[in-house]
Amino acid sequence: MEGTIKGAELPVKAPLLTLASGAKIPSIGMGTFGSDHNSPGEVSAAVAGALRVGYRLFDCAAVYGNEENIGTVFAEAFASGLLRREDLFISSKVWNDMHGKGDVLLALAKTLRDLRLEYVDAYFVHWPFPNYHAPGCDGDARNPASKPFSLKAFMRVWGEMEKIHRMGLAKHIGMSNMTIPKMEAVLPLCEIKPALIEMEMHPAFQQRELFDYCLKRKIQPIGYCPIGSPNRPDRDKAPGDIIDTEMPEIKAVASTHNIHPALVCLKWQVQLGSIPIPMSVNERNYTANLRCVTGAPLTDAEMASIAGADKNCRLVKGQVFLWPGAKSWEDLWDINGTITK
């Protein structure tokens, strides 16, 4: 069964994809959100272990509260001489409380200082509105200052993203938690188009339309919660949420390949051309997650059976970002095909 750690076979080399810029990016990375359960020290220890086993792509964010710890790990890796900066693809994100005038540069400066880097490979707008929630808040928390999406406000933030890209501080810029109606509104106005889109993606929530929309425009999708985020914060848990690793279609493929269902979720996503960023603080799990992309591929029939198993079950509903007057979390996701205001 995949998952046994054998040092002699490390590090694992994940196949690379090519972005529209021509830059290379690993086909799988590691997430670094401790989900309000794993401490900054636990996550940064996992990043150190992940570097050893072969991860070269790391998805960071200021709001995860651990960039300083992770920065120490990167600095030690470079100082050891075993890794060069250009061997890694490191991304981070501007949090929702930094959408004010001049804030993107300030936010990135702090991230660069914390991660101890001179540039990030990708910088994302974490959410497309300035709606702040405190780390660790519960699902009923609401900020009365929250606002619906505003094209004008978003484009001002994007203009600052374009500036930090031109300054060489972010090699690529991207968006996260977008919808097709929002993409349709913003793309014609971008001087520099997003190179990457980060979106929730797992077998029970495939977002095929958004995924295909991005691929068609040479925007690389990065899939978050790729295993269905079993330890996500309580605010992101709702009755009726599907557990990906317990879906019969996933278990059937796992049994055929003699692998854990979590690895089926990852192999499926990599084969589609998305880049999953699973998080784990468990060495056996994160090693298996990386290694599975070099193992036997899923068959066309297995890919088709997973495609047919989509449950449209969004896990990160984002209700804590709702503005006064909004009806439900669905207002954040433009369900009826137009931007909800």
Ligand X SMILES: NC(=O)c1ccc[n+]([C@@H]2O[C@H](COP(=O)([O-])OP(=O)(O)OC[C@H]3O[C@@H](n4cnc5c(N)ncnc54)[C@H](OP(=O)(O)O)[C@@H]3O)[C@@H](O)[C@H]2O)c1
**Residues designated catalytic:** 64
242 binds ligand X (CB under 6 A): no
Residue 79: is it exposed, middle or buried by C-beta count within 10 angstroms (0-12/13-18/19+)?
A: exposed
Tokens of 105: 């540069």
Nearest to 26 by CA among 327, 289, 253: 289
Nearest to 306 by CA among 205, 209, 230, 216: 205
317 binds ligand X (CB under 6 A): no
- Separation between Cα atoms, residue 315 and residue 232, nearest integer Å: 9
DSSP state of 168: T
33 binds ligand X (CB under 6 A): yes
Parallel/antiparallel/unpaired status of strands 170-176 and 120-125: parallel
- Binds ligand X (CB under 6 A): choice among 69, 146, 229, 269: 229
User: Looking at beta carbons only, is 166 or 231 nearer to ligand X?
Assistant: 231
Smallest distance from ligand X to CB 162, Å: 20
- Binds ligand X (CB under 6 A): choice among 260, 267, 314, 317: 260
Smallest distance from ligand X to CB 81, Å: 28
- Which runs of consecutive H residues, i.e. helices, occur in 63-207? 67-79, 103-115, 151-166, 180-186
- Binds ligand X (CB under 6 A): choice among 96, 289, 305, 319: 289
- Binds ligand X (CB under 6 A): choice among 25, 59, 130, 275: 59
DSSP state of 7: G
Smallest distance from ligand X to CB 133, Å: 12
- Binds ligand X (CB under 6 A): choice among 70, 219, 227, 242: 227
Which residues, other chains included, contact 241 with Cβ-Cβ below 8 Å and sequence gap of 6+? 313, 315
Nearest to 62 by CA among 108, 30, 99: 108
137 binds ligand X (CB under 6 A): no
Select the span of 11-19, 132-140, 281-289, 324-332 touching ligand X (CB under 6 A): 281-289
Smallest distance from ligand X to CB 15, Å: 19
Contact in structure between 277 and 223 (CB atoms under 8 Å): yes
285 binds ligand X (CB under 6 A): yes
- Separation between Cα atoms, residue 205 and residue 207, nearest integer Å: 6
Site string for ligand X, 149-178 (x = CB under 6 A): ---------------------------xx-
- Chain positions contacting ligand X, by CB under 6 A: 31-33, 35, 59, 126, 176-177, 198, 224-232, 260, 262-263, 277-282, 285, 288-289, 316
